[in-house]
Structure 1
Amino acid sequence: MFVRLAAAAVVVGLAAAVTLLTFWDPTPRFEPAADEGATLVEASDLQAFSERRIFFGHMSVGKNILSGLREVGAAHGVGPVAEVEVEVAATEVPDLPAGGVLAHALIGENRHPVGKLENFEALVRGGLGDQVDLAALKFCYVDVSWYTDVEDLFETYRQTMDRLEADFPDVRFVHMTVPLTTGPRGIKDRVKVVLGRDDNAARERYNDLMRAAYGPDQLFDIASIEAQGPDGATGDQALFGGYTSDGAHLNAAGASRVAAELVDFVSRG
């Protein structure tokens, strides 16, 4: 009897442990939304976008956006934007080809946003500022977390961009909000929220500073696009689950949606 009771207790304990781990930090499962990004943009706007001279500093979500640009272009039969990847550590910025071009760089290191700003400024001053008509730096979601001094980071960003805008008046500097991740998934995430360690809340504090500083013709609000479902409904300020496969990066539907919105934004400027 004792042996049977002990065995049963072990089984119950293991089941409880598995259940706790599942709810503590569950593996995310997301149902992808319908990929409708191509329906949100006109071929004429895509063509105009492909003729612009753009510099885009980014990391992984930026790669997703570039993939989305290729997808929506192909859906409309518009040739891909001519892309040139610029090495951040290059001692000389290359001469870009004539005509429309999208120069982009995997800028800096994740979790070091000030370093990304320094890299971006160095590349603009190192020759890109004289070759493009639009430039943008996108931070990654990991660059802003619950412990980030968002006011200090924003002030550093603003001062950097003010200098560049003053020194390169012919370049349109587009400002971008920080991407979001999906909302709390389990007990672990909810405990973090209760303890004031909500990463998305910090990102939105930073994004609100960006929204207050830059008008609709200057700010490309990635976070708001990510938080809005295909039906236009906006819930909590978190990445819509249908736009991601891992809770952070964009799937095909999310990438084409953000890319289409970017084409529309650039064409309106």
Structure 2
Amino acid sequence: MAVREVPASVKLLAGVWAGVLIVAVTLTGTWLARSPGMNDPIAVAWPSDDELRTSGETTVLFGHQSVGTNILDGILRVYADAPVPAPVIAEVSSVEDARHPTFMHAYLGVNGEPLGKFAAFADVMDTRAAAHVDVALMKLCYADVTASTDVHPVFDAYVSTMADLEAAHPDVRFLYTTVPLTADRNWKSKVKAVLGGDDRMGPADNVARERYNALIRERYAATGRLVDIAAVESAGTGLRSEDGNVYHVLNENLTFDRGHLNEAGSEAVAAELLKMVATHSPVA
């Protein structure tokens, strides 16, 4: 059987596409491998023994979800080698009388629904267990503020909720918080994002968190009662940029999955929280 000659035009087209494929693979490999920016180790700003003593003598209510659990674990580690006893950490539902110093906490709402978390925090503040709280705060999760979030209504709802709570509970010292961040995507999450998977950890998500946190800082930094979780998490990273928008990320040295905190991260945020509790505790 005679072998048909492949037309020159077909050979040329095949060569072009092969070249395109080689370039695409090369560029993709470079994109996946390149370092997105600095992630330097950080030094934790540890509370003093006096601050730890004051925090341990303060009744605190902390509303949160999973990253909050990391922070609670960090509190116990911060106290591990301290010459003062650690506070009792207990879920609100298990506390019958918080007249004695206790670090109470409550799991708020569902991730991805920040307005529901605000309402849940207000409900917890009206429970019997919260009747003797000295200091109270709640935090959102990184999943509550993403690229699809209209941050202004969320911010407005937070401001309204906190103002209402302060009016209803004038003896409680309320603290404010920024929303946590996520770390730079690794190559697996980049591939997933290209294929359409939304892990809510991309640059556009952190850009939205940056916008929300800027509003929080503008409103509350001057009060001296802002627990800037995002600032602690982003230490040692520097700014990133996406489509002309600058943003911060969670330092990869502080996380085990690019979103939740490892031991170093939980200790760093817990240390900042404990210092703020001590500063605003009525027993100080």
TM-score, structure 1 normalization: 0.79
Whether the aligned pair in 1 keeps the contact of 2:40 and 2:251 (CA below 8 Å) is: no
How far did residue 127 of structure 1 move? 2.9
**What does residue 119 of structure 1 align with?**
120
How far did residue 40 of structure 1 move? 1.8
**What does residue 261 of structure 2 align with?**
250
State the 4+ residue runs in structure 1 displaced beyond 3 angstroms: 19-26, 31-34, 184-192, 233-236
**What does residue 136 of structure 1 align with?**
137
Whether the aligned pair in 1 keeps the contact of 2:146 and 2:208 (CA below 8 Å) is: yes
Question: Structure 1 residues 245 and 157 mapped into 2: Cα distance closer, same or farther (>3 Å)?
Answer: same
Question: Structure 1 residues 125 and 22 mapped into 2: Cα distance closer, same or farther (>3 Å)?
Answer: farther
How far did residue 129 of structure 1 move? 4.3
**What does residue 7 of structure 1 align with?**
none
Instruction: Work out the CA distance in 1 between the residues paired with 2:40 and 2:109.
Output: 30
Residue number among 55, 61, 67 corresponding to 1:55 in the alignment: 61
How far did residue 203 of structure 1 move? 0.7
* Paired residues, number: 243
Whether the aligned pair in 1 keeps the contact of 2:114 and 2:144 (CA below 8 Å) is: yes
Residue number among 201, 219, 233 corresponding to 2:226 in the alignment: 219
Structure 2 letter corresponding to 1:149: D
1:42-73, CA deviations, whole angstroms, 9 ceiling, x for partnerless residues? Answer: 12211110110110001111111111110010
**What does residue 84 of structure 1 align with?**
90
**What does residue 99 of structure 2 align with?**
98
**What does residue 208 of structure 1 align with?**
214
Identity, % of aligned pairs?
Answer: 37
* Structure 1 unmatched ranges of 5 or more: 1-12, 88-92
Whether the aligned pair in 2 keeps the contact of 1:82 and 1:101 (CA below 8 Å) is: yes
Whether the aligned pair in 2 keeps the contact of 1:82 and 1:100 (CA below 8 Å) is: yes
Whether the aligned pair in 2 keeps the contact of 1:69 and 1:259 (CA below 8 Å) is: yes
How far did residue 98 of structure 1 move? 3.2
Structure 2 letter corresponding to 1:56: F
How far did residue 268 of structure 1 move? 2.0
The root-mean-square deviation of aligned C-alpha atoms, in Å, is 3.4
TM-score, structure 2 normalization: 0.75
* Structure 2 unmatched ranges of 5 or more: 1-20, 241-247
**What does residue 68 of structure 1 align with?**
74
How far did residue 95 of structure 1 move? 2.8
Between Structure 1 and Structure 2, whose CA radius of gyration is higher? 2
Question: Structure 1 residues 22 and 119 mapped into 2: Cα distance closer, same or farther (>3 Å)?
Answer: farther
How far did residue 150 of structure 1 move? 0.5
How far did residue 126 of structure 1 move? 2.5
Question: Structure 1 residues 25 and 63 mapped into 2: Cα distance closer, same or farther (>3 Å)?
Answer: farther
3-state DSSP class of the match of 1:105?
Answer: strand
Structure 2 letter corresponding to 1:103: M
3-state DSSP class of the match of 2:175?
Answer: strand
